[in-house]
Amino acid sequence: MTASMFARSSRGSQQPAHELVMLDPALATKWLERNRHNRNLRLSKVDQYARDMAAGKWQFNGDPIRFAVNGSMLDGQHRCHAVVRSGVTVQVLVVYNLAADSQDTMDIGAARLMSDQLILAGEANGSMVAAILRRLVAYQAGFRSFDGGAKNPTHAEMREYLEAHPTVRSAAEVANKAKRFLPCSPSMVGVAYHLCSQVNGEQANQFFVTQLIEGIGLRAADPARVLYKRLNDMGTARGRTNADDTLRYIFLAWNAFRTGRSLTRLQAPRGGWSSTNFPEPL
């Protein structure tokens, strides 16, 4: 709370009230001193908020930072930590003089997912587009492991990527076709299609749609045929291939397709996969 808010509260009125405040790192630090009874801090969420704040993507949406009648912070610790970390000033709505037990009803509603936002905006294939965007933004940031907890991008970062790469919508269409035929994560097929189409769109359509999904005109040693068999073999053994292996083997087969090489099999390199030998689309 600001000094004026504390003063008004101490003069007797204990009715809930609100105020718009420009929250800078110094004030956020003072408020965090009143963060005495709250849920565990999620550093990943602080990092998300701070990235958006530092990039100028943080939007004021009316969600309040809330204090109890005794001055303790009930809600807003992640935003305050993000302001401190980012070093920027943001506008916030502050509600104070709330009953301490009102914290029991905070943040228990359904979270608004990126897929919800896209669908509300009229985006066709909103759920698939969101799933592909989440992984593409992480991939762009250098993460190459999707089963081990990759970077969780913010909604603003995903919207920015979609604006810069509207062809993600085409990747979602390919992914929806793939889920009917391939025993792997369709969103990972969408990710691979998008990244390969950035190399050569016409060849990406031939490799992913005509060959891998539709299976048209394939010979035994064609990379798409070998990839299809590899994905099915892994799916039979595990129930479904994991996301990392899906992307690795797709890229290996794509690179063989692009260079005109035949394949007899697809396998991990000697010693296994690591962060240094993750294949990239050529």
pLDDT digits (tens, 9 = 90+) for 33-72: 999 888 889 999 999 999 999 999 999 999 999 999 999 9
pLDDT score at 4: 53
204 and 239 belong to one structural domain: yes
Final residue of a structural domain among 73, 105, 137: 105
DSSP 8-state symbol, 100: G
Distance CA 231, CA 242 (A): 10
169 and 61 belong to one structural domain: no
Distance CA 34, CA 65 (A): 12
Residue 24 has pLDDT above 90, yes or no: yes
* Residue scoring higher pLDDT (164 or 149): 164
pLDDT score at 198: 96
- For residues 244 and 192, the answer to whether their CB atoms sit within 8 Å is no
The total of other beta-carbon atoms located within 10 Å of residue 155's CB is 20
Distance CA 196, CA 199 (A): 5
33 and 132 belong to one structural domain: no
145 and 228 belong to one structural domain: yes
pLDDT score at 247: 93
Mean pLDDT over each residue of the chain, to the nearest integer: 89
pLDDT score at 39: 83
The radius of gyration computed from the CA coordinates of the chain, to the nearest angstrom, equals 25
pLDDT score at 103: 83
Exposure string of 141-152, with b = 16+ CB inside 10 Å and e = fewer, is: eebbebeeebbe
Confidence grade of residue 131 (pLDDT, cut at 50, 70, 90): very high
Percent of the chain having pLDDT more than 70?
Answer: 90
Selection from 49-63, 143-157, 262-276 with the highest mean pLDDT: 49-63
Provide mean pLDDT across the span 161-168. 97
Count structural domains, the chain.
Answer: 2
Distance CA 150, CA 141 (A): 10
Residue 165, domain member (yes or no): yes
Half-sphere exposure of residue 225: CA atoms within 13 angstroms, side-chain side: 12
User: Which domain, by its residues, includes 170?
Assistant: 114-259
pLDDT score at 37: 84
Structure token pair of residue 138: 């992480």
Confidence grade of residue 11 (pLDDT, cut at 50, 70, 90): very low
Provide mean pLDDT across the span 113-141. 91
Residue 248 has pLDDT above 80, yes or no: yes
- For residues 91 and 23, the answer to whether their CB atoms sit within 8 Å is yes
pLDDT score at 59: 93
120 and 231 belong to one structural domain: yes
Residue 274, domain member (yes or no): no
101 and 119 belong to one structural domain: no
Provide mean pLDDT across the span 155-163. 96
pLDDT score at 253: 98
Task: Render pLDDT for 190-223 as a digit per residue (tens, 0 to 9).
Answer: 999 999 999 999 999 999 999 999 999 999 999 9
Provide mean pLDDT across the span 113-142. 91
